[in-house]
Structure 1
Amino acid sequence: MMDWTDRHCRVFHRLLSRRARLYTEMLTSAAIIHGDRVRLLGFDESEHPVALQLGGSDPADLATSARIGEDFGYDEINLNVGCPSDRVKDGRFGACLMAEPKLVATCIDAMKRAARIPVTVKCRIGIDDQDPEISLDRLARGVIAAGADVLIVHARKAWLDGLSPKENRDLPPLDYDRVYRLKAALPHVPVIINGGIASLEEASAHLAHVDGAMLGRAAYQDPWRLLNVDPLLFGEDAPHASMKDAFEAMLPYIERELSRGTRLHAITRHFVGAFHAVPGARAFRRHLAEHGVKPGAGVSVLQDAIALVEERSAPAIAA
């Protein structure tokens, strides 16, 4: 979710579910060690529980980054071994590390020694010509032996040779059964499934076989789904009765950010799918697109956009 799940997005999503665990966009260990840590790692206290997702392949650097993340207050450190982008491959991190399971295990061991909070791994079932029965099992057993607390498995291969990053999100066939078999083989290990899950009903069905389900694009593109997470999956009331109520609760945060020099569009760009299939949604998007990008745009732009949309309460939202 690079360039998507920044801190503004996560504050918004937290207003839709108290219980869902939020993940940062992937940050490289080099950026954290040498970059502006406050800008890269700063987050709002309301985001908890929130996990820091790291990219890298140097055990010492990842250990340092994990310790820094813990000091910043994150609840989990996640090592990404699944991202197929060209930037990731060239930097020897992400999905290409599926070919180096021993190195990944060494990285996890170093991170576990450096941080007291949970350290988790997000991976694919394999890459290129690897046999998923062998590649996933080898990586999983290696990182678990090294101390990984949770495995998050995107149930697709990544084809680093021949497919673009965008194509890798859709074209390789999904193999949920392979993830189920991993869980059956490692019953004591928490396994979370990811990839192509388009609704909370699908996520709930997966929970008969694994310990958790991760939504990426479905949650970002149609965030209204998150209003049903707590009622459907945890038996608790949603934080807000409707998307409009959630936006009302978001206004103080937006005003604080604007006073610090943040542009309105940097925040409202995450709201595009908020009213999917609701009368007035197109007018809402158009108003934000036309007025939210203007210099000096304030919360009134968002309020005026919301006024163009009909109300819809959380219980009426279908997953």
Structure 2
Amino acid sequence: MNHSIVTEFMILGLTRNPEIQGILFVVFLCIYLLAFLGNMLIVIVIIYNNTLHTPMYVLLLALAIVDIICTTTIIPKMLWIMLTSQKTISYRGCMSQLYFFTWSLGAEMVLFTAMAYDRYVAICFPLHYSTIMNRCMCVALLSIVMAIAVTNSWVHTGLILKLNFCGPNAIDHFFCEIPPLLALSCSPVRLNEVMVYVADIILAVGDFTLTCISYGFIIAAILAIRTAEGKKKAFSTCSSHLIVVSLYYSPVIYTYIRPASSYTFDKDKVVAVLYTLVTPTLNPIVYSFRNKEMQAGIRKVFASLKH
């Protein structure tokens, strides 16, 4: 049973300085539009082009959808608060935001691992790629992603719903995230901290390790390529993927692996921007727009719009 007295929360946002807040509003609006439109373009291009209905692009499609959900769950509300100074969010609205954010967080981490495995099979076993990465395997990978994401979200949101919020209701963050909510609770949060720690080890550290192992095998296969041009191209792709993955996993691991008493919200807000906005903006550029097949698909979509 939920015995919370608090019926709404106050989201303090990134800063209380009105001058800086105006600049941040413009910056975050531009970045959000880039993230939203970039990922939406990927969704349209992959759905529209039958030639892109392959496992690699289906996983990219799933990643784009997850990024749209992640950014849209958080950023519009944050921009509204900056624009109007109406900082309140209802208890249900806060829990809904928490649920969809934790869902997208879990889904993105598992998707990165699935995409790394897909590239591992493509580069290390090119002759068997179509056999290994068939439709059943693709459906299985997406089912695993969904199952883990939903389980992760239900566990954390369910545990938050059991907490009592009977004191201060000011969330020192720009959205409803687990650490600032635990800091506001007047109930024991030890179980919540343990489950967050376990999820961080299994999902963040585990998936990051598997992703790095996959790219380790990929780099070993690349070294066997005879042409210098082939090595350069493959290394360029792998390095950009690993940079984006590291930008995502590092702040997530940093944020969730500590107890509630050690949170430093001013620093954590900046760190949270990396995995809520920066990475979803970079994903379309790194994973899709540099790809010749995607570029051809984009041209095809725009050509059809002209007609």
TM-score bracket, normalised by the shorter chain, equals: under 0.3
TM-score, with structure 2 as normaliser: 0.24
Computing the radius of gyration from Cα coordinates, the structure with the larger value is 2
Task: Name whichever structure is richer in helix by fraction.
Answer: 2
Task: Name whichever structure is richer in strand by fraction.
Answer: 1
Q: Which has the higher contact order (CA 8 A, sep 6+)?
A: 2
TM-score, with structure 1 as normaliser: 0.23
